[in-house]
């Protein structure tokens, strides 16, 4: 069935593109790609969907866009300006979007001989490469993943985040993996 083949190809490409976006944007979750509202210059600012309602800083993240993913960003850019990406025009909610990505990743995984390749592997891979291969400090990896450590919660109140260290770390990881 030609239509089915086209749909599978679309999910395959969506999965590949979103996996690369996630990896190059410090492990951004699919819900955050789906909901991302704006880009200021070369920086995507978003509020992590999973934890924004439980944090004083609304789980704010500011991620500089590595130049190698600009074509992917342009490919999915929302022409209406309502959101950064047009995913909401094709998927009614972030769960449907995530399901489509993971369906495509299962297909990619089977081609590569990888069992259970899922979207979250981009986040895990980014963190592992940052720490083990590039030598990024564990605290910066922690901050880049937008985690909050209970032992530093009070200290974090006093520190204004500027995301400089996180973005320097991301540039090193992207350069390590893609050589650019």
Domain with 134, as residue range(s), is 2-178
We report the CATH number of the domain holding residue 166 as: 1.10.443
Residue carrying the six token digits 């089915």: 4
Tell me which of 28-42, 98-112, 123-137, 148-162 is least confident: 148-162
DSSP secondary structure, 97-149, as one string: HHHHHHHHHHHHHHHHT-TT--THHHHHHHHHIIIIIS---HHHHHHHTT---
Which is more confident, 152 or 140? Answer: 140
Would the pLDDT of 154 be above 70? no
Looking at the 3D structure of the chain, how many domains does it have? 1
Which is more confident, 49 or 57? Answer: 49
Please say whether the beta carbons of 62 and 38 come within 8 A. no
State the pLDDT at residue 117.
93
State the pLDDT at residue 1.
38
Rounded Cα–Cα distance for residues 127 and 132 (Å):
8
State the pLDDT at residue 146.
78
Q: Pairing relation of β-strands 38-40 and 60-64?
A: unpaired
pTM, whole model, 2 decimals? 0.85
């Amino acid at each position: 069935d030609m239509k089915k083949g086209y749909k599978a190809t679309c999910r395959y490409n969506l999965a590949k593109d979103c996996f690369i976006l996630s990896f190059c944007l410090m492990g951004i979750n699919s819900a955050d790609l789906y909901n991302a509202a704006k880009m200021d210059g070369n920086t995507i600012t978003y509020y992590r969907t999973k934890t924004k309602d439980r944090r004083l800083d609304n789980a704010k993240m500011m991620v500089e866009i590595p130049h190698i993913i600009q074509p992917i960003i342009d490919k999915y850019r929302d022409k209406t300006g309502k959101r950064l990406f047009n995913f909401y025009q094709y998927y009614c909610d972030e769960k449907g979007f995530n399901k489509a990505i993971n369906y495509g990743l299962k297909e990619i995984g089977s081609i590569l001989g990888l069992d259970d390749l899922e979207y979250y592997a981009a986040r895990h891979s980014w963190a592992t490469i940052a720490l083990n291969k590039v030598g990024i400090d564990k605290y910066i990896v922690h901050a880049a993943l937008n985690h909050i450590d209970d032992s530093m919660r009070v200290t974090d109140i006093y520190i204004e985040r500027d995301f400089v260290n996180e973005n320097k770390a991301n540039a090193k990881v992207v350069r390590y993996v893609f050589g650019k």
